[in-house]
Amino acid sequence: MALLRRIGLRALLFLALVAIQTHCLSLQRQNEPSVSTMANKAPPPPSTMDRRQLLHRIVLFTAAPFSTTALPHDTASAAPLIPETTTAKETFARDRFGSVLMASDYVNSKPARDRSLVLGLKDEPTYLLVSDDRTLENFALNAECSHLGCVVPWNEFEQKFECPCHGSKYDAMGNVLRGPAPNALALAHVSTDEESGKIVVSPWTETDFRTNEPPWWK
């Protein structure tokens, strides 16, 4: 008799548990939106700024920590990020606040052999180069590493570009000194608008003068 009572009590507890779970599932289904409601719900408005451009702007505002902050290690199967510089249109170089840069003011504010980040083609982070005689070089360097697209800081003391992600190094002209970067930093043309004096950045589509080969970037 005692055994039967224990079995009966366990059966009642089991049935009670099943009943509670069933009731909770019913309430959850009642609270879920119907398929028609979800279909009629308007999707969120698209972002007005591409996430990649937003990242580049953040990078320009925080250029100082580049040499000490490394990004998480990417998988070996990740595809390299190829700058689309040759498909971009001619544009004025701008600083991190979005102001167009004047050639004379810019050069006068920089020392010889300076490499500073600006917004270039398609708002991509770009290095303008100041020569030894403190004139603006007629080419710029895209700041994205040719390995996986990390922004490469300029090490003024070493006079090298050093990628904080995977250790690639480039010389002052953007040539690869140490991998895993497979290619030099992408080029862009730099000129000065005669009328306004603004710095102009335009796509580089011809042979890379550093390698005598066609540009690897798009």
User: Residue 218's pLDDT is what?
Assistant: 80
On whether residue 112 sits in a domain, the answer given is yes
Name residues whose C-beta falls within 8 Å of residue 158's C-beta, 6 or more positions apart in sequence.
none
Structural domain boundaries, residue 138: 51-71+79-203
In a domain, 42, yes or no: no
Domain contains 26: no
Total structural domains within the chain: 1
CATH of the domain at 179: 2.102.10.10
Using only C-alpha atoms, what is the Rg of the chain? 29
In a domain, residue 2? The reply is: no
Evaluate whether residue 212 is within a structural domain. no
Residue 19 located in a structural domain: no
Instruction: Please give the pLDDT value at position 30.
Output: 54
Is 154 domain-assigned? yes
Which pTM does this prediction carry?
0.64
Alpha carbon 9 to its chain's center = 64
CA–CA separation, 192 and 216 (whole Å)? 26
Identify the three-state secondary structure at position 129. Answer: strand
With a CB cutoff of 8 Å and minimum separation 6, the contacts of 68 are: 164
The answer to whether residue 9 sits within a structural domain is no
pLDDT tens string for the chain (218 positions)?
A: 544 444 454 544 445 544 545 554 454 555 555 444 444 444 444 443 454 454 454 455 544 333 333 333 343 334 445 566 656 689 999 998 999 999 999 999 999 999 999 999 999 999 999 999 999 999 999 999 999 999 999 999 999 999 999 999 999 999 999 989 999 999 999 999 999 999 999 999 999 999 999 999 98
Looking only at the bridges linking them, the beta strands covering 199-203 and 154-155 are: unpaired
